[in-house]
Protein backbone atom coordinates (compact mmCIF):
# COMPACT_ATOMS: atom_id res chain seq x y z
CA UNK A 1 0.00 0.00 0.00
CA UNK A 2 1.54 3.27 -1.09
CA UNK A 3 2.01 5.91 1.59
CA UNK A 4 1.45 9.48 0.31
CA UNK A 5 4.23 11.99 1.01
CA UNK A 6 1.95 14.04 3.29
CA UNK A 7 1.08 11.07 5.54
CA UNK A 8 2.70 11.41 8.99
CA UNK A 9 5.11 8.57 9.78
CA UNK A 10 3.91 5.76 11.99
CA UNK A 11 0.19 5.92 11.20
CA UNK A 12 -1.77 2.81 10.27
CA UNK A 13 -3.04 3.30 6.72
CA UNK A 14 -4.69 -0.13 6.67
CA UNK A 15 -7.53 0.94 9.02
CA UNK A 16 -10.21 3.49 7.99
CA UNK A 17 -10.41 6.70 9.99
CA UNK A 18 -13.68 8.58 10.46
CA UNK A 19 -12.00 11.99 10.04
CA UNK A 20 -10.43 10.91 6.74
CA UNK A 21 -13.76 9.41 5.59
CA UNK A 22 -15.40 12.75 6.44
CA UNK A 23 -12.69 14.48 4.39
CA UNK A 24 -13.52 12.19 1.45
CA UNK A 25 -17.28 12.95 1.69
CA UNK A 26 -16.47 16.66 1.54
CA UNK A 27 -14.26 16.24 -1.53
CA UNK A 28 -10.93 16.59 0.31
CA UNK A 29 -7.67 14.91 -0.65
CA UNK A 30 -6.31 13.86 2.76
CA UNK A 31 -7.64 10.32 2.76
CA UNK A 32 -6.32 6.87 1.85
CA UNK A 33 -7.81 4.15 -0.32
CA UNK A 34 -8.93 2.29 2.83
CA UNK A 35 -10.94 5.40 3.87
CA UNK A 36 -12.44 5.84 0.39
CA UNK A 37 -13.40 2.17 0.27
CA UNK A 38 -15.20 2.35 3.65
CA UNK A 39 -16.89 5.64 2.71
CA UNK A 40 -18.11 4.26 -0.62
CA UNK A 41 -19.45 1.18 1.19
CA UNK A 42 -21.30 3.40 3.69
CA UNK A 43 -22.75 5.41 0.78
CA UNK A 44 -24.22 2.23 -0.73
CA UNK A 45 -26.75 2.39 2.13
CA UNK A 46 -26.91 6.18 2.52
CA UNK A 47 -25.95 7.84 -0.79
CA UNK A 48 -26.68 11.22 0.80
CA UNK A 49 -23.82 11.02 3.33
CA UNK A 50 -21.93 13.92 1.66
CA UNK A 51 -25.12 16.04 2.00
CA UNK A 52 -25.26 15.20 5.72
CA UNK A 53 -21.62 16.29 6.14
CA UNK A 54 -22.28 19.52 4.21
CA UNK A 55 -25.26 20.24 6.49
CA UNK A 56 -22.99 19.70 9.52
CA UNK A 57 -20.45 22.16 8.16
CA UNK A 58 -23.09 24.75 7.26
CA UNK A 59 -24.62 24.56 10.75
CA UNK A 60 -21.15 24.86 12.32
CA UNK A 61 -20.48 28.08 10.37
CA UNK A 62 -23.84 29.57 11.42
CA UNK A 63 -23.21 28.60 15.05
CA UNK A 64 -19.74 30.19 15.02
CA UNK A 65 -21.18 33.43 13.65
CA UNK A 66 -23.91 33.27 16.32
CA UNK A 67 -21.23 32.85 18.99
CA UNK A 68 -19.31 35.93 17.81
CA UNK A 69 -22.57 37.92 17.56
CA UNK A 70 -23.23 36.86 21.19
CA UNK A 71 -19.82 38.18 22.27
CA UNK A 72 -18.10 34.76 22.47
CA UNK A 73 -14.83 34.91 20.51
CA UNK A 74 -12.93 31.90 21.93
CA UNK A 75 -13.45 28.50 20.35
CA UNK A 76 -12.52 24.97 21.44
CA UNK A 77 -13.31 22.60 18.56
CA UNK A 78 -12.97 18.96 19.66
CA UNK A 79 -13.01 16.26 17.01
CA UNK A 80 -12.20 19.00 14.53
CA UNK A 81 -11.07 16.61 11.80
CA UNK A 82 -9.23 17.63 8.65
CA UNK A 83 -9.69 21.33 7.89
CA UNK A 84 -11.62 22.01 4.73
CA UNK A 85 -12.76 25.33 3.30
CA UNK A 86 -14.82 27.42 5.75
CA UNK A 87 -13.34 26.01 8.94
CA UNK A 88 -13.92 27.45 12.41
CA UNK A 89 -10.86 29.73 12.44
CA UNK A 90 -11.72 31.19 9.02
CA UNK A 91 -15.33 31.94 10.00
CA UNK A 92 -14.42 33.23 13.48
CA UNK A 93 -11.53 35.45 12.34
CA UNK A 94 -13.62 36.89 9.51
CA UNK A 95 -16.27 37.83 12.10
CA UNK A 96 -13.75 39.06 14.70
CA UNK A 97 -10.01 39.32 13.97
CA UNK A 98 -9.31 39.01 17.71
CA UNK A 99 -10.92 35.54 17.93
CA UNK A 100 -8.92 32.61 19.38
CA UNK A 101 -9.34 29.00 18.22
CA UNK A 102 -7.97 25.68 19.47
CA UNK A 103 -8.62 22.53 17.45
CA UNK A 104 -8.43 19.07 19.04
CA UNK A 105 -8.28 15.71 17.27
CA UNK A 106 -6.76 12.29 17.92
CA UNK A 107 -6.21 11.43 14.23
CA UNK A 108 -2.53 12.10 13.37
CA UNK A 109 -3.44 13.05 9.77
CA UNK A 110 -5.98 15.60 11.04
CA UNK A 111 -3.42 17.06 13.46
CA UNK A 112 -0.62 17.23 10.87
CA UNK A 113 -2.88 18.80 8.24
CA UNK A 114 -4.28 21.29 10.77
CA UNK A 115 -0.75 22.36 11.72
CA UNK A 116 0.08 22.94 8.05
CA UNK A 117 -3.12 24.95 7.48
CA UNK A 118 -2.58 27.03 10.64
CA UNK A 119 1.04 27.93 9.94
CA UNK A 120 1.38 31.66 10.47
CA UNK A 121 -2.05 31.95 12.13
CA UNK A 122 -1.08 33.09 15.62
CA UNK A 123 -4.63 33.01 16.99
CA UNK A 124 -5.15 29.29 16.33
CA UNK A 125 -3.50 26.02 17.38
CA UNK A 126 -4.13 22.28 17.32
CA UNK A 127 -3.88 19.74 20.17
CA UNK A 128 -3.39 16.00 19.59
CA UNK A 129 -5.83 14.69 22.22
CA UNK A 130 -8.98 12.66 22.74
CA UNK A 131 -12.43 13.85 23.85
CA UNK A 132 -12.52 10.92 26.29
CA UNK A 133 -9.71 12.59 28.28
CA UNK A 134 -10.93 16.15 28.96
CA UNK A 135 -8.14 16.94 31.44
CA UNK A 136 -5.50 16.36 28.72
CA UNK A 137 -7.29 18.92 26.56
CA UNK A 138 -7.91 21.51 29.27
CA UNK A 139 -4.34 21.38 30.61
CA UNK A 140 -2.65 21.36 27.19
CA UNK A 141 -0.25 24.28 26.57
CA UNK A 142 -2.28 25.25 23.48
CA UNK A 143 -5.48 25.68 25.50
CA UNK A 144 -3.83 27.35 28.50
CA UNK A 145 -1.75 29.59 26.21
CA UNK A 146 -4.46 30.71 23.78
CA UNK A 147 -7.76 30.57 25.67
CA UNK A 148 -8.81 32.40 28.82
CA UNK A 149 -11.17 29.96 30.53
CA UNK A 150 -12.33 32.70 32.90
CA UNK A 151 -14.10 34.20 29.88
CA UNK A 152 -16.82 32.46 27.81
CA UNK A 153 -15.70 29.83 25.30
CA UNK A 154 -17.68 28.17 22.51
CA UNK A 155 -17.16 24.40 22.85
CA UNK A 156 -17.77 22.69 19.50
CA UNK A 157 -18.60 18.98 19.41
CA UNK A 158 -19.72 18.74 15.80
CA UNK A 159 -20.25 15.22 14.43
CA UNK A 160 -18.06 13.67 17.13
CA UNK A 161 -20.21 12.52 20.08
CA UNK A 162 -21.84 9.83 17.94
CA UNK A 163 -18.43 8.12 17.70
CA UNK A 164 -18.38 7.61 21.49
CA UNK A 165 -20.21 4.64 22.92
CA UNK A 166 -21.98 4.95 26.26
CA UNK A 167 -19.14 2.93 27.81
CA UNK A 168 -16.80 5.80 26.82
CA UNK A 169 -18.80 8.01 29.24
CA UNK A 170 -19.39 10.83 26.72
CA UNK A 171 -21.83 12.70 28.97
CA UNK A 172 -19.29 12.80 31.78
CA UNK A 173 -16.66 14.11 29.33
CA UNK A 174 -18.97 16.90 28.13
CA UNK A 175 -19.92 17.77 31.73
CA UNK A 176 -16.23 17.93 32.75
CA UNK A 177 -15.43 20.24 29.84
CA UNK A 178 -18.43 22.50 30.52
CA UNK A 179 -17.55 22.60 34.20
CA UNK A 180 -14.17 24.14 33.32
CA UNK A 181 -15.73 26.88 31.19
CA UNK A 182 -16.99 30.27 32.34
CA UNK A 183 -20.69 31.15 32.60
CA UNK A 184 -21.96 32.40 29.24
CA UNK A 185 -19.98 29.71 27.39
CA UNK A 186 -21.72 27.92 24.52
CA UNK A 187 -22.00 24.20 23.75
CA UNK A 188 -22.38 23.59 19.99
CA UNK A 189 -23.38 20.02 19.06
CA UNK A 190 -24.48 17.94 16.10
CA UNK A 191 -25.29 14.25 16.48
CA UNK A 192 -26.42 11.41 14.21
CA UNK A 193 -29.84 9.84 14.73
CA UNK A 194 -32.10 7.44 12.88
CA UNK A 195 -34.80 10.12 13.11
CA UNK A 196 -34.88 12.32 10.03
CA UNK A 197 -32.95 9.97 7.71
CA UNK A 198 -35.00 9.65 4.49
CA UNK A 199 -34.61 5.84 4.27
CA UNK A 200 -35.89 3.04 6.50
CA UNK A 201 -33.88 2.36 9.66
CA UNK A 202 -32.88 -1.13 8.49
CA UNK A 203 -31.10 0.32 5.45
CA UNK A 204 -29.45 3.11 7.45
CA UNK A 205 -28.25 0.35 9.77
CA UNK A 206 -26.04 -0.86 6.91
CA UNK A 207 -23.99 2.33 7.22
CA UNK A 208 -23.75 1.83 10.99
CA UNK A 209 -22.35 -1.66 10.30
CA UNK A 210 -19.67 -0.20 8.00
CA UNK A 211 -18.53 2.17 10.77
CA UNK A 212 -18.37 -0.78 13.15
CA UNK A 213 -15.35 -1.97 11.12
CA UNK A 214 -13.48 1.25 11.98
CA UNK A 215 -12.03 2.12 15.38
CA UNK A 216 -14.94 4.53 15.86
CA UNK A 217 -18.33 2.78 15.65
CA UNK A 218 -21.28 5.06 14.85
CA UNK A 219 -23.76 5.35 17.75
CA UNK A 220 -27.22 6.56 16.74
CA UNK A 221 -29.06 8.32 19.59
CA UNK A 222 -32.62 9.60 19.94
CA UNK A 223 -33.33 13.36 20.27
CA UNK A 224 -34.05 12.76 23.98
CA UNK A 225 -30.65 11.12 24.47
CA UNK A 226 -28.90 13.88 22.51
CA UNK A 227 -30.66 16.56 24.58
CA UNK A 228 -29.04 15.14 27.74
CA UNK A 229 -25.64 16.34 26.52
CA UNK A 230 -26.95 19.88 27.09
CA UNK A 231 -27.56 19.33 30.83
CA UNK A 232 -26.29 22.39 32.66
CA UNK A 233 -27.00 24.70 29.73
CA UNK A 234 -30.07 26.45 28.38
CA UNK A 235 -30.79 25.69 24.73
CA UNK A 236 -30.92 28.85 22.62
CA UNK A 237 -33.75 29.22 20.09
CA UNK A 238 -34.85 27.19 18.15
CA UNK A 239 -33.65 24.40 20.49
CA UNK A 240 -32.53 20.94 19.35
CA UNK A 241 -33.62 20.62 15.71
CA UNK A 242 -32.60 19.12 12.36
CA UNK A 243 -29.45 20.88 11.14
CA UNK A 244 -31.05 22.94 8.32
CA UNK A 245 -33.70 24.25 10.77
CA UNK A 246 -31.18 25.89 13.13
CA UNK A 247 -31.25 29.61 12.21
CA UNK A 248 -31.10 28.92 8.46
CA UNK A 249 -29.55 31.36 5.98
CA UNK A 250 -31.85 30.11 3.21
CA UNK A 251 -35.26 28.41 3.12
CA UNK A 252 -34.99 24.94 4.69
CA UNK A 253 -37.39 23.48 2.10
CA UNK A 254 -34.67 24.01 -0.51
CA UNK A 255 -32.39 21.57 1.35
CA UNK A 256 -31.65 18.01 0.26
CA UNK A 257 -33.77 15.51 2.32
CA UNK A 258 -30.55 13.94 3.65
CA UNK A 259 -29.56 17.24 5.29
CA UNK A 260 -32.28 16.61 7.90
CA UNK A 261 -30.49 13.49 9.19
CA UNK A 262 -29.42 14.08 12.77
CA UNK A 263 -29.82 16.97 15.18
CA UNK A 264 -28.09 20.23 16.06
CA UNK A 265 -28.30 22.59 18.99
CA UNK A 266 -26.52 25.35 20.91
CA UNK A 267 -26.72 25.58 24.69
CA UNK A 268 -25.61 28.50 26.88
CA UNK A 269 -24.04 27.78 30.26
CA UNK A 270 -25.78 29.71 33.03
14-23 tens-digit pLDDT: 899 999 999 9
Residue 239's pLDDT is what? 98
pLDDT, tens digit (0-9, with 9 covering 90-100), for 54-63: 999 999 999 9
Ordered structural domains, the chain, with CATH: 48-269 (3.40.50.150)
**For residue 1, is pLDDT > 90?**
no
Instruction: Work out whether strand 154-158 and strand 233-235 pair parallel, antiparallel, or are unpaired.
Output: unpaired
pLDDT, tens digit (0-9, with 9 covering 90-100), for 166-178: 999 999 999 999 9
Q: How confident is the model at residue 86 (pLDDT cuts 50, 70, 90)?
A: confident
Residue 73's pLDDT is what? 98
Amino acid sequence: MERPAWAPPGIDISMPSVSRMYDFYLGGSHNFEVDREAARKAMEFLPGLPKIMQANRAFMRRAVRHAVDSGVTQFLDIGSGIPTFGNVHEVALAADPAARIVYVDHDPVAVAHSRAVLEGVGQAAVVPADLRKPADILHSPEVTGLLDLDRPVALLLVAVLHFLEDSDRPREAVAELLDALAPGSLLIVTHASYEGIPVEQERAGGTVEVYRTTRSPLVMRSPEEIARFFDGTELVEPGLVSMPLWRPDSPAEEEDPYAFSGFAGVGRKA
